[in-house]
């Protein structure tokens, strides 16, 4: 036999995301020195058996830890605690002597916050096929943006260099109100708009304001990990509500948790399943929220990119009772590093947000806000959206063609009406195996099952981003993906069993 494995005592709370708990527990064991550098861990399969969870769950938790440098994985011989820990680790280990005092000095709330899992597998580095969450940065008009920014910077006034409005720059709030009113089918004025340091910050702030620890919150199942992170950071009790072809199954949610205080939804383009929420479901959701006095957080993250279909009005536009908080992002329409997003909030929340902002980040950088305002007011933003819509349609077409050409019947793309990613159902090969084989080939192909909190259903599929890279790279990526599928098929019967376990 090989080197013996180090046992891991992992406590699992059935109601919280399993993969993320396993990730956090293994990482904690490493940080606290429970498992030594170089120690061999249980295989992901054995750990899955021990915890009676799906192997997808343990495998993805291990992969995240490998990606972050906590674990190393050797083909055939197993998974080990890294001997060279990530660059921020030595400091932690140096002060082992003080670790007891240090631990004692972190608050209970701090420990809970520290245990909040990262919002998904973020790989980093230059874009590769088929990365999620990154838009077509290769087509971003860097020269135009830097021209507008330069104009603002060199003419900055004393008032613009000083502290500004905690709700965000009035000029930008007006431009956003106008854009949203014409583009997203809802009415609002600058008074309703609050500029935030990215949509994630907006969601996190809202969760903290409208939820008390222990309050229940609906999330979509499968769903967006960033929202779950924000909810967990707020101490929420997450209730996964299944998604079908019409989006969130509201009546299922009402049966499981009628008293939830918040529902987080992505109605324009469900993340990750890709379906839009039907009008009847939208109305049912609003009816529930109104009756239950709950909040609906509508994350409209990539709704600007629609392909040929007419827009269903956003939830906010249907809301007569002030239940809906709308979250908008510029990370997908412009670039993530800008860290700007916005909220549209009902009057009752505005003063609260203002108070919270003054005690924390005050407002996002003024000159970035001013540059964005100019981009919108001068019509560049609209033009950029039009151009990107065309480019994304081309990229989607390239993906669709290339998958048909290289993968044949092994892959079937679900219809894409909106957004920057597609869901590809797999036939005859297991998605997690394909994901691994693809990673070895430099291709990011995320299994749909990674986005479930509970047991994945109809999830032998990959979530493929088509926005971040050009058509030629997409074609090359599809060819490599075909190779990965082939290898996963040859890998034997294990694959087919994985998701069923």
Looking at residues 112 to 131 of the shown chain, list those that interact with a second copy (rule: CB under 8 A): 113-119, 122, 124-127
Distance CA 289, CA 285 (A): 6
Contact call for residues 40 and 3 (beta carbons, < 8 A) = yes
At 201 the three-state DSSP class reads helix
Q: Which is nearer to a second copy, 211 or 248 (CB)?
A: 211
Binding span for a second copy by CB under 8 A among 52-60, 74-82, 192-200, 399-407: 192-200
Size of the site for a second copy (CB under 8 A): 107
b/e sequence 257-288, b meaning 16+ C-beta within 10 Å: beebbbbbbbbbbbbbbbbbbbeebbebbbeb
Q: Which is nearer to a second copy, 322 or 397 (CB)?
A: 322
**Exactly one of 360, 387, 408, 442 binds a second copy (CB under 8 A); which one?**
360
Distance CA 252, CA 259 (A): 13
Distance CA 296, CA 284 (A): 12
Q: Is 472 a binder of a second copy (CB under 8 A)?
A: no
Minimal distance in Å, beta carbon 169 to a second copy? 10
Beta strand ranges found along 144-222 (DSSP E): 193-196, 216-221
Binding span for a second copy by CB under 8 A among 100-108, 307-315, 421-429, 442-450: 100-108
Phi, psi of 274 (to 5 degrees): 95, -10
Q: Is 232 a binder of a second copy (CB under 8 A)?
A: yes
Contact call for residues 35 and 8 (beta carbons, < 8 A) = yes
Query: 205-224: which residues touch a second copy (CB under 8 A)?
Result: 205, 208-213, 215
Distance CA 500, CA 310 (A): 38
Q: Is 494 a binder of a second copy (CB under 8 A)?
A: no
Query: 239-278: which residues touch a second copy (CB under 8 A)?
Result: 261
Query: 308-337: which residues touch a second copy (CB under 8 A)?
Result: 321-322, 335-337
Minimal distance in Å, beta carbon 29 to a second copy? 13
Q: Is 138 a binder of a second copy (CB under 8 A)?
A: yes
Distance CA 172, CA 175 (A): 5
**Exactly one of 13, 14, 88, 409 binds a second copy (CB under 8 A); which one?**
88
- CA nearest to 354, candidates 155, 173, 106: 173
> Beta partners for 244?
247
CA dihedral of residues 389, 393, 398, 399 (deg, nearest 10): 90
Q: Is 36 a binder of a second copy (CB under 8 A)?
A: no
Q: Is 366 a binder of a second copy (CB under 8 A)?
A: yes
- 392: alpha, beta or left? (left if phi > 0; alpha if psi -120 to 50): alpha
- 368: alpha, beta or left? (left if phi > 0; alpha if psi -120 to 50): alpha
**Exactly one of 272, 364, 447, 477 binds a second copy (CB under 8 A); which one?**
364
Query: 150-189: which residues touch a second copy (CB under 8 A)?
Result: 150, 153-154, 156, 158-164, 167
Minimal distance in Å, beta carbon 203 to a second copy? 9
Binding span for a second copy by CB under 8 A among 42-50, 74-82, 146-154, 302-310: 146-154
Q: Is 387 a binder of a second copy (CB under 8 A)?
A: no
**Exactly one of 14, 143, 310, 379 binds a second copy (CB under 8 A); which one?**
143
């Amino acid at each position: 036999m090989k080197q013996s494995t180090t046992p891991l005592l992992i406590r699992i709370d059935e109601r919280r995301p399993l993969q993320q708990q396993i990730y956090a527990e293994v990482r904690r064991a490493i940080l606290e020195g429970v498992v030594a550098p170089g120690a061999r861990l249980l295989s992901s399969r054995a750990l899955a058996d021990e915890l009676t969870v799906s192997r997808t769950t343990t495998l993805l938790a291990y992969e995240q830890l490998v990606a972050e440098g906590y674990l190393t994985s050797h083909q055939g011989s197993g998974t080990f605690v890294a001997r060279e820990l990530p660059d921020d680790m030595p400091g932690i280990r140096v002060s082992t002597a003080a670790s007891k005092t240090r631990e004692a000095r972190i608050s209970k709330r701090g420990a809970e916050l520290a245990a909040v899992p990262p919002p998904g597998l973020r790989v980093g580095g230059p874009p590769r096929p088929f990365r999620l969450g990154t838009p077509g940065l290769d087509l971003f008009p860097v020269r135009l943006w830097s021209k507008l920014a330069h104009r603002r910077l060199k003419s900055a006034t004393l008032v613009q260099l000083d502290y500004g409005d905690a709700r965000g720059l009035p000029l930008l709030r007006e431009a956003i109100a106008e854009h949203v009113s014409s583009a997203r089918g809802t009415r609002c004025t600058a008074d309703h708009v609050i500029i935030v340091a990215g949509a994630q910050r907006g969601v996190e702030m809202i969760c903290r304001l409208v939820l008390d620890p222990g309050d229940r919150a609906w999330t979509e199942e499968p769903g967006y990990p960033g929202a779950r992170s924000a909810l967990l950071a707020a101490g929420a009790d997450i209730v996964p509500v299944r998604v079908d072809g019409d989006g969130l199954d509201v009546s299922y949610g009402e049966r499981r948790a009628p008293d939830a205080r918040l529902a987080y939804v992505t109605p324009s383009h469900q993340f990750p399943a890709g379906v839009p929420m039907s009008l009847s479901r939208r109305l049912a959701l609003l009816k529930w929220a109104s009756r239950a006095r709950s909040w609906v957080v509508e994350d409209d993250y990539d709704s600007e990119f629609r392909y040929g279909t007419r827009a269903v009005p956003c939830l906010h536009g249907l809301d007569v009772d002030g239940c809906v908080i709308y979250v908008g992002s510029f990370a997908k329409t412009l670039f993530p590093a800008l860290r700007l997003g916005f909220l549209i909030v009902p009057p009752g929340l505005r003063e609260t947000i203002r108070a919270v902002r003054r005690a924390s980040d005050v407002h996002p950088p003024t000159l970035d806000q001013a540059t964005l305002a100019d981009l919108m007011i001068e019509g560049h933003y609209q033009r950029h959206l039009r151009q990107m819509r065309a480019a994304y349609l081309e990229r989607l077409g390239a993906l669709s063609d290339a998958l048909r050409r290289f993968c044949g019947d092994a892959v079937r793309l679900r219809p894409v009406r909106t957004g920057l990613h597609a869901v590809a159902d797999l036939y005859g090969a297991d998605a997690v195996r394909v994901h691994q084989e693809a990673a070895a080939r430099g291709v990011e192909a995320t299994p749909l099952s990674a986005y479930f909190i509970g047991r994945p259903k109809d999830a032998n599929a990959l979530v493929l981003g088509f926005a971040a890279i050009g058509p030629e790279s997409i074609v090359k990526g599809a060819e490599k993906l075909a190779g990965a599928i082939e290898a996963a098929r040859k890998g034997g019967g294990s694959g087919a069993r994985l998701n069923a376990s």
